[in-house]
Amino acid sequence: MERGRPRNFDRTLALRRAMEVFWERGYEGTSLSDLTEAMGIERPSLYAAFGCKEALFREAVDLYNEIEGVPAQRVLETALTARQAIETMLRDYAATYTQVGKPPGCMIVLAALLGTPQNKDVRDHLARHRRESRLALKARIVRGMAEGDVPQTADAERVGGFYATLLEGLSIQARDGASRLDLEAIIDGAMTAWDPLVACGKTLPRR
């Protein structure tokens, strides 16, 4: 059984609030005072519950990934073809990047891109997340090639890199004020590239 005074705030809710501030302002742009204010708790409570700023950020990233990332990533597995998978994933992300009442763009892409050398660990953490996303994208194309819905000629590395780059670009567009329809139009464009992209393969003529 639990001993001592029970915590009198909702840890999960407080973490959610922290996530939103980090998502909006980034890791270094968010101060402890910003966090305690948004979470509705005092500083020592934050440290007791989450350890330190960096640990709180990592938990916030995990929560973000769970809420916003995993659902969009899941279709990568469930969709029947690689093309369907990637298009649906892109459109799902376009939706999450432009939700009203939430910061635009992807927290994992935006929240710790540049900064002081002493926060390199935080940036690397997000960079690893992005790397995994790229690998998942590429893996889905490889799977499509194995299952026959993507031509054997395709260069999975190139196709995956292309769509990963576009996806990360969408976060910046969203920060710059692009609407969901704007992002959808860009995705339309990217999807028209699918057929020639998977067709041309590794030996692409240059210029």
Partner DNA sequence: GGAATTATTTACTGATTGGTATGAAAAAGG
Partner DNA sequence: CCTTTTTCATACCAATCAGTAAATAATTCC
- Minimum CB separation from a second copy for residue 45, in Å? 23
Q: Which does 167 bind (CB under 5 to 8 A by kind): DNA, a second copy, none?
A: a second copy
Interface region with a second copy, contact rule CB under 8 A, candidates 25-33, 40-48, 49-57, 61-69 = 25-33
* Helix/strand/coil (H/E/C) assignment for every residue in 48-111: HHHCCHHHHHHHHHHHHHHHHHHHHHHHHHHCCCHHHHHHHHHHHHHHHHCCCCCCCCCHHHHC
CB 112 within 8 A of CB 122: yes
CB nearer to DNA: pick between 123 and 140 = 123
Q: Do 27 and 119 touch, CB atoms closer than 8 A?
A: yes
Q: What is the DSSP letter of 5?
A: P
Residue 96 and residue 68 in contact, taking contact as beta carbons nearer than 8 Å: yes
Q: List the single partner that 125 binds among DNA, a second copy, none, CB under 5 to 8 Å by kind.
A: none
Among 20, 26, 61, 82, binds a second copy (CB under 8 A): 26
Interaction partner, residue 25 (DNA, a second copy, none; CB < 5-8 Å by kind): a second copy
How far from 162 is each of 86, 102, 141, 172, 198, CA to CA, in Å? 11, 27, 12, 16, 11
For the bound state, the minimum distance from the C-beta of residue 52 to DNA, rounded and expressed in Å, comes to 4
**Choosing among DNA, a second copy, none, which partner's interface includes residue 32 (Cβ < 5 to 8 Å by kind)?**
DNA
**Chain contacts with a second copy (rule: CB under 8 A):** 24-26, 28-31, 34, 87, 109-111, 113-117, 119, 127, 130-131, 155, 157-159, 161-162, 164-170, 172-173, 175-178, 182, 185-186, 188-190, 192-193, 195-197, 200, 204, 206-207
